[in-house]
Amino acid sequence: MGQLCMKLKPNRYLEADKNNDGTGEERTFLNRVPKTDRKKSAVHDEESAIREQSEKKKKSKSPMPLGMAYIEAQDAEIDPQAQKSQDDKKLIITALNNHFIFTSLTDEDKDMVAESMQLYIFQIGSTVFEQEKPSRSYYVVKSGVLEVLVNGKRVNRIHPGEGFGELALLHDNPRSATVRCLDKTLLWGIERQTFRKVIEEMNTQIYEQNREFLEKVALLQPLSSRQKDSLAASLVACKYTSGQKIISEGESGQQLFIIKEGTVSVQKGSQEIARLHAGGYFGEMALLTNAPRSATCVAIEGPVKCVSLSRETLQKTLGNQLQDIIEKNTIMEAINKSETLSYLNKDQKDSIIRELHIKSYKGGDIVIQAGTLCNSKLYIIITGRLQFAKTTQLFADKGTAVGDVHVTQTLAEDQKYEDDMIASADMKVGELTKYRFEVSIGGRYEDVVKENAATNVLRKVYLFNTLDSTKMKELFGIIRSVKYAEGETIIKEKTPIDSVYIVKRGKVDLRKNGELIRTVMKHDYFGERGFLIDNISTVTAVANGSVTVWVIQNNDFIQLVNENMRKQLLKRIKIEDERVELKDLIVIKMLGKGMFGKVYLVRPASAFQLYALKAISRRKIDVYAIQEHLLLEKHILLLIDHPFIVKMVRTYKDEKRIYFLLEYVHGLELSMILRHVGLLSNSDSQFYIASLVLVLQYLHERDIIYRDVKPDNVMVDSNGFIKLIDFGTAKQVQGRTYTLVGTYHYMSPEAIVGKGYNKNADLWSLGICLYEFLCGRVPFGEDEEDPYKIYEAILDMNLDYPSDIEGPSESAKSLIGQLLSKLGEHRSGGSIENLKKHEWFAGFDWEGLMHQTIVPPYTPDVGDNFEDIEEDDAELHEPWDQVLNQESEDSDMSIPEVIDTELEEFKSSIPRNWDAGF
């Protein structure tokens, strides 16, 4: 049922987006059909079928009775036990090879798909599927001939060995034709759910196997887990027959090979010098030294399966030469393992690495002489071992930092090494004097670390982004760190509060009357109401797991707060007013309506703070089985608090509806601005792409994949800064996910082929946006509406630039090419921080953007300023309960009568108290 739950998540881009006058000039918080026809959204499996049936039922004079769902291939007899001959498997795989959808599958994938196909037996004249009806399966003809009918007219025939219906494996769009049997026909078929499950299981298994292999490769041990994760996703499978040469002595080396199965003979000249088995590797030295291959490697004893890493992959994924990466990671590992050096920030650690003087020693050489002051120099062992000369006992191994230049108070100033420290074998050591160490980190260790501890957190807290360096340093002396165990109460509702709290590690749940209001995560804060309004807490704060917070007393905090901070605090408090109840809301106007409900512009009766209220019909929640979808959306919105993301205030429920109370964004969609201004300039594109980079960095740090980055989901507010809206497709996941979700033209290749994708899929969509900003069109399938053709164009990855415009700069093309890399791990260049350092962003003021001190390129003229509406204008102020009585919740939409039996089964499994989360 878990898989069914994923596939029934609604396609929220099918919903309407209009204001009352029909102009569509304002964005609602319901998703909708994009305003450009060419950017249609991908359909979420079964849900699209329900919607299509609903639309057609309205037009039909004789709708299908309740419960009589259309079943594809219902005329067939299915033989699940039918055995496949080798000819059958060959026939199926040949058919798979003829369609682009399957080109990214490995041989193992195709074998598994072929093995999972069932035999369908059709009699002459029977129908496989009907035009405009929901799609479910892909078929390969074993025997018989079929005809293809479009609007009742024959347009083609399908013969043995041919496959058809492959788009059904991606999503649930209606069939574009009817297929009928002219003979008794045997088809091999596979349903979408089975297909995606097979591919998911196979690729998860392959990825996990690859990841395990990398852990066994000694050469790669110094790499971080994240780097190994990236490499695991970049491995290329290859197979060799017995006797086949894999690499030849003397040739240039471009690949590192790791053996998965079989045996490899390593030969020099005519002599075998070694045999390698599963888990073994070869070819690494040519990658390190760029020298010709020093030996020949031949597959022996049956077929040999390997995975390979190319030099290009290593360079792109790791961002540098492999040897440099390994050395740097070894040094960084030593720094991070050190109880004291680990407290330095990334820039300081990098500075140490740059300043280190790398020296090589032969076995027996003296590295540290007896009598040397212990606090005079820092040593980092890069390769080899350091031992005592007299006893030969180990003193320090590879990846270890030696020396007390950073904590002089732990030893006497004149303490010295009592014995020579010598190299046990050839080794490399990085050395740094105490003076150069303090220069590289920017001062005395104790002072630097104290500042780091505060800066690392406070620089990321948007509340403090307007503090100058002097005020920031004042913070260092007034904050204190406090730890709380899971479930421990930090502050209690209706009790005095005298501090502001900032989460350094972990999560804190804020509850009011026992109801979860918000979850505060790393770098967010709470308790500010006590500082600005009164000293009584309106919520209870409870540690969600182990939590560390910074605490600032209000008496100290008041000395630091400037006017900008005060305004920011007041704005947040007004938006996040937990006292706002549903019954107290006044409706100003309806902003839009969609498939599942409506969105209203509202305000509390006692204040003039504007909100957007999304009201979702319980009846439709039940029909479309979107309970888990709504809970997931709420969960994600409660985790995030960023100035460039729309904020959720709270949720409500009553007998008829579930409600989301959201920040009202008064502005225009970025897509509308694009249509108005045409092409964006390089600098304007930088502003919007950089804004999205900051948002994605924030989300990805919290393991949230957005999955639908596009201009339609970006609002530009009245100040010109962006707000990412609509988290209906977002998902919190640490590994990979397989659900096909998003908008056709912005989908990544790995999402389309169903082999699993991660947060890097968002970066592909970002690349599409950058191309669109600079070229005025999307790069793949611009003129296509057919999802099949759009997917085909994306997988072809033929990236061209328009000839009718000047086109992007070379640096912009470089970034577009990086973001639209086939391998997702290459898109960031190793990390979002590396992406921000791309040459296209050279000179860009990232700090000014984050602090919103730079001038936006476009400030939308949004017309009506609702914030200026007089409170005595009764015509626009209707109590919420009156609106409920005036409007029928389903007045404009009927519930589909055709309900999938699988959907019914899923609904019956949902707990009756699912809405307890609201």
pLDDT given at position 86: 92
**8 Å CB contact between 139 and 76:** no
Considering the chain, what percentage of its residues have pLDDT values greater than 70?
79
368 found inside a domain: yes
Give the bridge partners for 536, in sequence order. Answer: 496
pLDDT given at position 223: 74
586 found inside a domain: no
Residue 622 pLDDT more than 70? Answer: yes
Domain count, the chain: 5
pLDDT given at position 757: 92
Q: Rank 38-42, 414-418, 539-543 by mean pLDDT and report only the highest.
A: 539-543
Q: What mean pLDDT comes out for the span 595-615?
A: 84
Q: Rank 407-421, 503-517, 660-674, 758-772 by mean pLDDT and report only the highest.
A: 758-772
Tokens of 875: 């015509």
Q: What mean pLDDT comes out for the span 538-564?
A: 84
Amino acid identity for residue 495 in this structure: T
For residue 254, give its domain range: 217-318
Instruction: Please give the Cα distance from 623 to 638 (Å, whole number).
Output: 26
What does the DSSP assignment read for 146-183?
Answer: EEEEETTEEEEEE-TT-EE-GGGGT--PBPSSEEEESS
Same domain, 343 and 472: no
pLDDT given at position 710: 95
SS (H, E, C) 798-860: CCCCCCCCCCCCHHHHHHHHHHCCCCHHHCCCCCHHHHHCCHHHCCCCHHHHHHCCCCCCCCC
pLDDT given at position 705: 94
Backbone angles phi, psi at 203, to 5 degrees: -75, -30
Same domain, 682 and 805: yes
Same domain, 681 and 806: yes
Residue 912 pLDDT more than 70? Answer: no
Give the confidence band of 182 by pLDDT, cuts at 50, 70, 90.
Answer: very high
Give the confidence band of 559 by pLDDT, cuts at 50, 70, 90.
Answer: confident
Residue 748 vs residue 252, higher pLDDT:
748
Same domain, 436 and 471: no
Residue 821 pLDDT more than 90? Answer: yes
Q: What mean pLDDT comes out for the span 552-574?
A: 73
Q: What mean pLDDT comes out for the span 898-908?
A: 43
The secondary element (H helix, E strand) that includes residue 311 is helix 311-318
Residue 845 pLDDT more than 90? Answer: no
Residue 33 vs residue 792, higher pLDDT:
792
pLDDT given at position 867: 45
pLDDT tens digits for range 446-498: 888 877 766 665 666 666 766 766 677 777 778 888 999 999 999 998 888 88
- The order of strands in the sheet holding 648-653 is 648-653, 657-663, 611-617, 597-604, 585-593, 878-879
Same domain, 697 and 842: yes
Same domain, 491 and 422: no
Residue 676's CATH number: 1.10.510.10
Residue 17 pLDDT more than 50? Answer: no
620 found inside a domain: no
Q: What mean pLDDT comes out for the span 528-536?
A: 70
Give the confidence band of 139 by pLDDT, cuts at 50, 70, 90.
Answer: very high
Sequence-separated (6 or more) residues with CB below 8 Å from residue 750: 756, 757, 761, 824
Give the confidence band of 16 by pLDDT, cuts at 50, 70, 90.
Answer: very low
Same domain, 191 and 226: no
Same domain, 674 and 807: yes
Residue 1 pLDDT more than 80? Answer: no
Same domain, 694 and 794: yes
Residue 24 pLDDT more than 80? Answer: no
Is residue 437 classed as helix, strand or coil in its secondary structure?
helix
Q: Which residue among 708, 712, 726, 762 is the active-site one?
A: 708
Give the confidence band of 258 by pLDDT, cuts at 50, 70, 90.
Answer: confident
Give strand ranges (E) for 710-755: 714-717, 722-724, 731-732
Q: What mean pLDDT comes out for the span 793-800?
A: 92
Q: For the packed helices 434-441 and 445-458, what is the interaxial angle rounded to 10 degrees?
A: 20
Same domain, 193 and 222: no
Single out the residue in 318, 350, 383 at which a domain terminates: 318
Residue 81 pLDDT more than 90? Answer: no
Residue 851 pLDDT more than 90? Answer: no
pLDDT given at position 619: 86
Same domain, 169 and 240: no
574 found inside a domain: no
Tokens of 261: 């199965």
Give strand ranges (E) for 44-133: 77-79, 118-122, 127-129
The secondary element (H helix, E strand) that includes residue 434 is helix 434-441
Residue 120 pLDDT more than 90? Answer: yes
pLDDT given at position 76: 92
Residue 334 pLDDT more than 70? Answer: yes
SS (H, E, C) 769-796: HHHHHHHCCCCCCCCCCCHHHHHHHHHH
> Is 864 a known active-site residue?
no
pLDDT given at position 55: 41
Single out the residue in 171, 198, 225 at which a domain terminates: 198
897 found inside a domain: no
Residue 897 pLDDT more than 50? Answer: no
Angle at 625 between CA 622 and CA 626, to 5 degrees: 105
Residue 803 vs residue 213, higher pLDDT:
803
Same domain, 699 and 822: yes
pLDDT given at position 533: 66
**8 Å CB contact between 463 and 569:** yes
Instruction: Please give the Cα distance from 332 to 353 (Å, whole number).
Output: 8
Backbone angles phi, psi at 73, to 5 degrees: 60, 30
Q: Is 614 annotated as a binding residue?
A: yes
Residue 606 pLDDT more than 80? Answer: no
Instruction: Please give the Cα distance from 29 to 19 (Å, whole number).
Output: 12
pLDDT given at position 38: 41
Q: What mean pLDDT comes out for the span 543-561?
A: 84
pLDDT given at position 753: 86
In order of 256, 262, 266, 268, 665, the CA distances from 247 in angstroms are: 10, 16, 10, 12, 60
587 found inside a domain: no
Angle at 662 between CA 656 and CA 665, to 5 degrees: 135
Residue 377's CATH number: 2.60.120.10
Single out the residue in 499, 534, 561 at which a domain terminates: 561
370-374, 562-566, 721-725, 819-823: which range is least confident on average? 562-566
pLDDT given at position 189: 95
Give the confidence band of 527 by pLDDT, cuts at 50, 70, 90.
Answer: confident
- Average pLDDT of the chain? 79
What does the DSSP assignment read for 629-640?
Answer: HHHHHHHHHHH-
815-819, 828-832, 855-859, 884-888: which range is least confident on average? 884-888
660 found inside a domain: no
Residue 596 vs residue 534, higher pLDDT:
596
Give the confidence band of 816 by pLDDT, cuts at 50, 70, 90.
Answer: very high
pLDDT given at position 48: 40
Residue 677 pLDDT more than 90? Answer: no
Give the confidence band of 409 by pLDDT, cuts at 50, 70, 90.
Answer: very low
912 found inside a domain: no
